[in-house]
């Protein structure tokens, strides 16, 4: 359940105290959702949808603040969700569990990016959980995108839901809550928001932790195919270097090509068990390639990838891959507001793809042009105003920025963070050798916690030392 304001259970004295506090720090009240705990406060801030037309349409931003357990006077942590299009207020568990030590001394602030969560959402949902067949054949149906646009324009100017507009909202929230500088934590697409915030409002930022780096010059999805190929190549290489894996799967690369060959004549019919019973679908080559990319996001899943490839090559049975593909789609799709997703990609990335430069690496990847074509077609059906070319200039900053990448990340590879670091004067980049996408919760977590507690890179210790590659699953002897 989304957190909402609850007033009725508060006695008059507490109500007055909260109101007095609200005059200086924003109108926040204890959240109705008891699972968020007694330190969680909820509220909404109304802002102009178009800052250039302050008398025009207003939108309400949904906000959750988890107050620090101890009074420290330290800057709060603003949590920037990924996707783009994920709800930040769905991430409150990060402050309660992985970053619990940090939440003892710092407030955590969650603001739903305009268009997501409870901030005038533009969802564009497809129910693939109930209809598994809709998860196969294409990622985005242009007709559905066009229908979503038509519905969205009843309550939103979709050209105003990009990163620049979102960081203007964040700055308004910062002021409304009475904070000075803030620390940023961004995951994946949230790092793009963070980079733009760094550039637009440098005086407001005390530092940032970016996990799975998406800088302003990333031009997604142009790098997705080569990144996925590189990540899969690292799996093959590491399996070959592990005695047990090499012995179990000595022909892994050839077996992967054999599985790709199953699609030579077109889609392959396969079945798996869904909640509604046995489901038969037609799995396309692009579905399979996208499934491989999805598996590489998660280190636990990646550990089983050589075994999955081997079994499929030996039997021709693709059911395990089809089930993974469907379950991931059914889990991820409801968590993303695709109106925001398209607003960002279509204005900030697609217009700046260097098609000539990426042609070769894309052609050599198992993923090929699939995501380029899917996003390209979706953006033709969406309405957007491309950002000016200067948007893609690398962001410069002297604020402390800790960046974390996963060695097997098929989306935001470590080389991207290395290039971003060239323009940051006070930065550190950690590569988690045994992780995929969003890697700050494994071996890099102690460093991430220490950085978020202290707000500086100075004096931080080592991270992920002695951590080797993923240990791949092999048959028990």
Please say if the pLDDT value at position 476 is more than 90: no
Distance CA(338)–CA(343), nearest Å, equals: 8
Query: What is the average pLDDT across 267-293?
Result: 95
Do 187 and 411 meet the contact criterion of CB atoms below 8 Å apart?
no
Question: For 348-384, what is each residue's pLDDT tens digit?
Answer: 999 999 999 999 999 999 999 999 999 999 999 999 9
Torsion angles phi and psi, residue 473, rounded to 5? -70, 140
26 confidence band (pLDDT: 50, 70, 90): low
Check whether 223 has a pLDDT greater than 80. yes
Question: In the prediction, which pLDDT does 171 show?
Answer: 98
In angstroms, rounded to a whole number, what is the distance separating the alpha carbons of residues 214 and 211? 9
Cα gap 281→293, rounded to integer Å:
20
For 401-424, what is the mean pLDDT? 98
pLDDT at 22 over 60: no
What proportion of the chain, given as a percentage, has pLDDT over 90?
91
The mean per-residue pLDDT over the stretch 341-354 comes to: 98
For range 185-190, the mean pLDDT? 98
Q: How far apart are the first and last CA of the chain?
A: 47
97-99-104 Cα angle (round to 5): 100
pLDDT in tens, 97-136: 899 999 999 999 999 999 999 999 999 989 999 999 999 9
Q: 211: which 2 tokens?
A: 């996990």
Mean pLDDT calculated for residue range 437-454: 97
Distance (Å, rounded) from C-alpha 292 to C-alpha 317? Answer: 15
**Around Cβ 79, how many Cβ atoms within 10 Å?**
24
CB 306 within 8 A of CB 385: no
pLDDT digits (tens, 9 = 90+) for 192-222: 999 999 999 999 999 999 999 999 999 999 9
Q: Which pair of tokens denotes residue 440?
A: 């700050």
The per-residue pLDDT for 34 is 86
Residue 436 has pLDDT above 80, yes or no: yes
- Give me the sign of the Cα torsion angle 123, 125, 129, 132: negative
Cα 172 to Cα 178, 207, 325, 459, 465: the distances in Å are 10, 18, 39, 33, 40
Based on DSSP, count helices (H) and strands (E) in the chain, helices before strands. 18, 11
Beta-bridge partner residues of 279: 272
In this structure, the dihedral spanned by the alpha carbons of residues 163, 381, 296 and 235, taken in order and rounded to 10 degrees, is -110
Preceding amide of 82 cis, omega within 30: no
pLDDT in tens, 284-318: 999 999 999 999 999 999 999 999 999 999 999 99
Task: State both tokens at 8.
Answer: 């009725």
Q: What angle do CA 439, 441, 446 make, to 5 degrees?
A: 115
- Indicate the pairing of strand 58-66 with strand 108-111: antiparallel
Q: Tell which CATH classification among 3.20.20.220, 3.20.20.210, 3.40.50.1820, 1.20.1250.20 matches the domain 12-120+160-217+393-454.
A: 3.40.50.1820
Its pTM stands at 0.93
Q: Please answer whether residues 168 and 64 qualify as being in contact, where contact means their C-beta atoms are separated by less than 8 angstroms.
A: no
Does pLDDT of 17 surpass 50?
no
Report yes or no: 108 and 99 within 8 Å, Cβ to Cβ. Answer: yes
Tell me the H-state helices in 45-187.
92-96, 100-103, 142-152, 163-176
**How far, in Å, CA of 204 to CA of 197, rounded?**
9
> At what angle are helices 305-315 and 252-261 packed, to 10 degrees?
50
Is the pLDDT assigned to residue 8 strictly greater than 80?
Answer: no
- Spatial distance between the Cα atoms of 109 and 41, rounded to a whole number of angstroms: 10
Q: What is the pLDDT of residue 427?
A: 98
Peptide bond into 297 cis (omega under 30): no
Measured N-to-C along each axis, helices 224-241 and 252-261 cross at an angle, to the nearest 10 degrees, of: 140
Predicted confidence at residue 16, as pLDDT, reads: 31
Residue 29 has pLDDT above 50, yes or no: yes
Q: Give me the percent of the chain exceeding a pLDDT of 70.
A: 94
Coil, helix or strand at residue 332? helix
Has residue 5 got a pLDDT over 60? no
Q: What is the mean pLDDT of the chain?
A: 93
Domain ranges, ordered by start, for the chain: 12-120+160-217+393-454, 125-155+221-388
């Amino acid at each position: 359940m989304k957190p909402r304001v609850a007033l009725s259970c508060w006695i008059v004295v507490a109500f007055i105290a909260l109101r007095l506090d609200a005059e200086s720090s924003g109108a926040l009240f204890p959240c109705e959702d008891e699972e968020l705990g007694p330190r969680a406060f909820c509220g909404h801030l109304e802002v102009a949808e178009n800052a250039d037309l302050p008398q025009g349409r207003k939108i309400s931003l949904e906000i959750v603040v988890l107050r620090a357990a101890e009074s420290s006077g330290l800057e709060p942590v603003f949590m920037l969700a990924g996707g783009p299009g994920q709800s930040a207020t769905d991430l409150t568990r990060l402050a309660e569990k992985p970053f619990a030590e940090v939440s003892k001394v710092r407030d955590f602030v969650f603001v739903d990016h305009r268009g997501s969560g409870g901030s005038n959402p533009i969802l564009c949902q497809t129910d693939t959980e109930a209809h598994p067949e809709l998860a196969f054949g294409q990622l985005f149906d242009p007709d559905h995108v066009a229908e979503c646009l038509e519905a969205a324009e009843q309550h939103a100017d979709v050209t105003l839901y990009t990163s620049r507009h979102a960081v203007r909202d964040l700055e308004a929230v910062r002021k409304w809550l009475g904070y000075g500088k803030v620390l940023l934590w961004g995951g994946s697409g949230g790092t793009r928001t963070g980079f733009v915030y760094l550039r637009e409002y440098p005086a407001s930022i005390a530092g940032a932790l970016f996990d799975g780096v998406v800088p302003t010059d990333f031009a997604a999805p142009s790098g997705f195919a080569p990144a996925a190929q590189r990540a899969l190549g690292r799996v093959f290489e590491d399996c070959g270097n592990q005695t047990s894996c090499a012995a179990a799967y000595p022909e892994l690369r050839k077996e992967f090509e054999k599985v790709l060959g199953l699609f030579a004549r077109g889609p392959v019919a396969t079945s798996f068990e869904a909640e509604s019973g046995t489901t038969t679908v037609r799995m396309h080559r692009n579905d399979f390639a996208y499934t491989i990319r999805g598996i590489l996001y998660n280190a636990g899943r990646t550990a089983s990838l050589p075994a999955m490839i081997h079994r499929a090559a030996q039997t021709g049975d693709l059911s395990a891959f089809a089930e993974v593909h469907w379950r991931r789609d059914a889990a991820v799709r409801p968590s993303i507001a695709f109106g925001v997703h398209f607003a960002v990609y279509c204005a900030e990335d697609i217009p700046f793809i260097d098609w000539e430069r990426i042609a070769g690496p894309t052609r050599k990847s198992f993923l090929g042009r699939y995501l380029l074509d899917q996003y390209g077609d979706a953006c033709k059906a969406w309405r957007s105003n491309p950002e000016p070319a200067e948007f893609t200039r690398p962001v410069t900053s002297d604020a402390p920025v800790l960046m974390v990448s996963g060695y097997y990340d098929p989306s935001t590879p470590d080389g991207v963070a290395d290039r971003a670091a060239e323009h940051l004067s006070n930065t550190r980049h950690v590569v988690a050798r045994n992780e995929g996408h969003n890697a700050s919760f494994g071996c890099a977590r102690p460093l991430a916690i220490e950085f978020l507690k202290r707000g500086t890179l100075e004096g931080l210790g080592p991270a992920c030392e002695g951590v080797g590659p993923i240990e791949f699953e092999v048959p028990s002897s």
